[in-house]
């Protein structure tokens, strides 16, 4: 399965992960997540991979689920260890930033765009 060109700009790249399924794509995310061997799906905006968090810093990427604590009536964030990460081509980034502001049941929410 071919992947769209998802190379990030050189200013955002840090190191290359030769074990990544994307080949020569570089990203700072690869030091924090281990991507699955093949995409979960592809679409007009890029490829979605299963990603397991390998570095558990204090919610570095602000990705979490909210859980309800009935005893204290407080909603608290819980870190999750497995995510779906979408690799997006640079040419689609402005459209994705716009879509991340939309809230609709038929649109998947985007975080940290």
CATH number, domain of 97, equals 3.30.200
Tell the residue number behind the tokens 């990705």, with chain if given: 63
Other C-beta atoms lying within 10 Å of the C-beta of residue 31: 11
How far CA 89 is from CA of 8, 48, 59, 93, in Å, comes to: 7, 12, 25, 7
Residues 78-96: pLDDT tens digits? 545 677 777 777 788 888 8
Average pLDDT, the chain: 65
Task: Give the residues of the chain that fall short of pLDDT 50.
Answer: 1-20, 64, 77, 79
Distance CA 20, CA 39 (A): 11
Handedness of CA 86, 27, 80, 66 (dihedral sign): negative
Q: Which residues form the domain of 54?
A: 1-113
- Number of structural domains (the chain) is 1
């Amino acid at each position: 399965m071919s992947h769209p060109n998802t190379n990030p700009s050189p200013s955002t790249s840090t190191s290359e992960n030769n074990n990544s399924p994307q080949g020569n794509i570089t990203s700072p995310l690869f030091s924090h997540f281990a991507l699955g061997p093949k995409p979960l799906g592809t679409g007009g905006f890029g490829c979605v991979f299963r990603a397991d968090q390998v570095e558990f810093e204090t919610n570095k990427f602000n990705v979490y689920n909210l859980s309800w604590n009935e005893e204290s009536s407080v909603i608290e964030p819980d870190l999750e260890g497995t995510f779906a990460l979408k690799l997006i081509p640079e040419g689609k980034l402005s459209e994705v930033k716009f879509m991340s502001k939309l809230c609709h049941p038929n649109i998947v929410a985007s975080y940290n765009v």
